[in-house]
Amino acid sequence: MKQVTVGMVGYKFMGKAHSQAYRELPMFFPDAPKPVMKTICGRDAAGVAEAADRFGWTRYVTDWRELLADGEIDLIDINAPSNAHKEIALAAAKAGKHVFCEKPLALTLADSREMLKAAEEAGIKHMVGFSYRFAPAVQLAKKLLAEGRLGEIYHFRAWFLQDWIVDPNFPLVWRLDKEMAGSGSHGDLGAHLIDLAHYLIGGMTEVVGMSETFIKERPIAASMTGLSASGDKDGPKGKVTVDDATLFLARFDNGALGSFESTRFAAGHRCTNSFEINGSKGSIKFDFERMNELQVYFTDDAEDVQGFRRVLVTDAVHPYMDAWWPAGHTIGFAQTFTHELLELMQALSEDRQPVPNFLDGVKCQEVLSAVERSIEERRWVRIAEM
Element (H, E) at 3: strand 3-9
Q: What is the pLDDT of residue 225?
A: 77
> Are 207 and 194 within 8 A, CB to CB?
no
pTM listed for this prediction: 0.96
Position 10 confidence tier, pLDDT thresholds 50, 70, 90: very high
pLDDT at 292 over 90: yes
Backbone φ, ψ for residue 293 (5° rounding) = -130, 145
Q: What is the pLDDT of residue 234?
A: 87
> Are 381 and 374 within 8 A, CB to CB?
yes
Give residue-wise pLDDT tens across range 231-280.
888 899 999 999 999 999 999 999 999 999 999 999 999 999 999 999 99
Position 94 confidence tier, pLDDT thresholds 50, 70, 90: very high
pLDDT at 152 over 80: yes
Give residue-wise pLDDT tens across range 314-368.
999 999 999 999 999 999 999 999 999 999 999 999 999 999 999 999 999 999 9
Backbone φ, ψ for residue 5 (5° rounding) = -85, 130
Position 227 confidence tier, pLDDT thresholds 50, 70, 90: confident
Q: How far apart, in Å, do the first and last CA atoms of the chain sit?
A: 39
> Are 374 and 208 within 8 A, CB to CB?
yes
Encode 307-342: b = buried (16+ Cβ within 10 Å), e = exposed. eeeebebbeeebbbbebbeeeeebbeeebbbbbbbb
> Are 76 and 98 within 8 A, CB to CB?
yes
Closest to 99 in 3D by CA, of 59, 112, 191? 112
Distances (CA, A) of 211 to 63, 108, 191, 244: 37, 18, 15, 8
Q: Is the dihedral of CA 344, 349, 354, 359 positive or negative?
A: positive
> Are 230 and 223 within 8 A, CB to CB?
yes
Half-sphere exposure of 360 (CA within 13 A, CB side): 27
Give residue-wise pLDDT tens across range 54-66.
999 999 999 999 9
Q: What is the pLDDT of residue 282?
A: 98
Q: What is the pLDDT of residue 128?
A: 98
Write down all domains in the chain, each with its CATH number in brackets: 3-132 (3.40.50.720), 133-353+364-377 (3.30.360.10)
Give residue-wise pLDDT tens across range 125-140.
999 999 999 999 999 9
Q: How many CB atoms lie within 10 A of CB 369?
A: 21
State the Cα–Cα distance between residues 65 and 88, nearest whole angstrom: 8
pLDDT at 297 over 90: yes
